[in-house]
Amino acid sequence: MYQIGTTLTQFILEEQRKHTGATGEFSCVLNDVALACKKIAALTSKGDLIGVLGSAGSENVQGEEQKKMDIITNDVMIEALSRGHAAALASEEMDEVYHLPGNVPRGHYLVTFDPLDGSSNMDVNVSVGTIFSIIKAPEGVENPTAADFMQLGTKQVAAGYCLYGPSAIMVLTTGKGVNMFTLDKDCGEFLLTREDVKIPADTKEFAINVSNQRYWEPPMQRYIGECLLGVEGPRGKDFNMRWVASMVAEIHRILTRGGIFIYPMDSKMKAAGKTGKLRLLYEANPMGFIVEQAGGMATTAYSRIMELQPTDLHQRVPVVMGSRNEVELVTGYHNA
């Protein structure tokens, strides 16, 4: 148990002391991520004052329009993580693995990240966030390749996100529960504000983009249809719908009060040859790890996300995660 107000730095060091033989390198990686998130929090709070809103006039590897802040925050993450504690990096905004400069020592961890999830929301002043995942690098490899990143989500040693909203909140798991740290701008530290966060098993709230309903698979049509029937339907209760179009914001709400977040497979994606919307390495795996550590559940609607074998740095998957009983119901409908 930690005292509310414990700094993230102190929390990381105290956790390190519990591991005999720890070198401190893992702690340094986490601190590097925290430093990057502090810088990004400052940038997002200034917005148009420093001219960082709007399109950059380029596309990422998925063919999506890049915002100025996508590129800026990606550079911030790379700079912070190129201090000799990581072995290599992979980002949603980069085509290939990022290898550290030749004069930088190699650490023993691989870090993947989405530097600014929901970046289009920046233009309308809605919450955005950074998502990250940490796995172990193979021994004796100086410049890890994409193949070295193809590890199951169950191999993650840490995952987290930083939400940039009315306050900046770092949410972190190292496989021993989920803790939240709020950035105190006066002292420049993330301070523990919620410990051992748990997602309620039941909920009356779902988050999905209903504009795509006509493309959904029949089991998803059934599930959302039953929710919309409310107290008169088979569920026997009324549901509320939410949709922020920022995974970090959606998952943070679920961690705070429960709910289910769904980005399902649909016929439009299949026709385009896509395997889903969200990225396995940069979004689904780290968020799945966090949700499971908070007592929730994370699936593709058919199987556990963290047991999927990655095949590509930018592999996409369907996502259903949040309150356990609702995710189990959705997954049961799809596997019937």
Write out the two tokens for 165.
Answer: 């909203």
119 is in an annotated binding site: yes
48 is in an annotated binding site: no
Question: How far is Cα 336 from Cα 216, in angstroms, rounded to an integer?
Answer: 16
63 is in an annotated binding site: no
237 is in an annotated binding site: no
Phi, psi for residue 327 in degrees, rounded to 5: -65, -40
121 is in an annotated binding site: no
118 is in an annotated binding site: yes
Amino acid occupying residue 55: S
120 is in an annotated binding site: yes
92 is in an annotated binding site: yes
Known binding-site positions for Mg(2+): 92, 114, 116-117, 283
Known binding-site positions: 92, 114, 116-120, 209, 277, 283
Known binding-site positions for substrate: 117-120, 209, 277
